[in-house]
Amino acid sequence: MTAPHAFTGAPARTSPQAAAPRGFSLFKPMNPPITDWRGLRVWLVGASSGIGEATASALHALGAQVLVSARSKEALERFVLNHPAAQAWPLDVTDAAAVSATARDILAQGPLDLVVYCAGHYREMRATEMDMADLKRHMDINYLGALHVLDGVVPAMSARGRGHISLISSVAGFRGLPKSLAYGPTKAALTNLAENLYLDLQPLGVGVSVVHPGFVQTPLTAQNDFTMPALITPPQAAQAMIGDWARGVFEVHYPKRFTRWMKLMRLLPYRVYFPAVRRATGL
């Protein structure tokens, strides 16, 4: 069982937004828009660096009560030092029992208004150089870890009929890509998971969104040995997500000058797609 680094003791103020929209509409938000973050309790899992850390920092600046989790206790303590009233909950998402205990302790302090799953693992891999241990590690962190967190928070959020769950997937999950044998399938699974969560939870009043980043300057993408098109910074990624949560969308994707092309590629027939991606990547 873990303990928070800091706790204000103030009760969480629930979102002022209306209940989740029901029924079909081309114009209504798919989720309750979140426009006022003051007092909202936000748990970001995988917040020691990159997108998770930047999003936690941005939401803290907007007045949210931020709880950050990651394996690195030192990184979380640095975050709390720079963000007064934030809480650090060190956590390994592959440890189901630890995730369950942490979720239980966090919920004992008050309800959660947003849960963001940012934890991720990436190593390039091709079928000619398969590494079974690393394949499993991708699955354990990128997908099963999300299930552990969901198992800990969904019952309370659905019973309350409020809150929002956001899963950080990737455009790498849209279709097969070179060197993405381990990473891509886990992100495809995460996207499918978010779609199923939306179908089940949106009628209960719980918002769900999936995030499809393009290339973001993080410790994971620092491994890439090629020029990454439309590369953006983590703070830019955080602002894109916050902006789309305010619009109540289901799918968040950025930067759009890149992700729109990836979405178009997803529509190509295989006979066209495979040669096109080989030409584009040179692989």
Q: Among the options 117, 143, 183, 198, which is catalytic?
A: 183
Task: Walk across the sheet containing 251-254 and list its strands.
Answer: 87-88, 65-69, 41-45, 114-117, 164-168, 207-213, 251-254
Give residue for tokens 């959660």. 112
Cβ within 8 Å of residue 128, ≥6 positions away = none
Residue 183 is among the residues annotated as catalytic for this protein: yes
Cβ within 8 Å of residue 97, ≥6 positions away = none
Contact call for residues 79 and 56 (beta carbons, < 8 A): yes
Backbone angles phi, psi at 131, to 5 degrees: -125, 100
Cis check: omega of the bond before 4, within 30 degrees of 0: no
Work out whether the CA dihedral 192, 55, 208, 245 comes out positive or negative: negative
> Which positions are annotated as active-site residues?
183
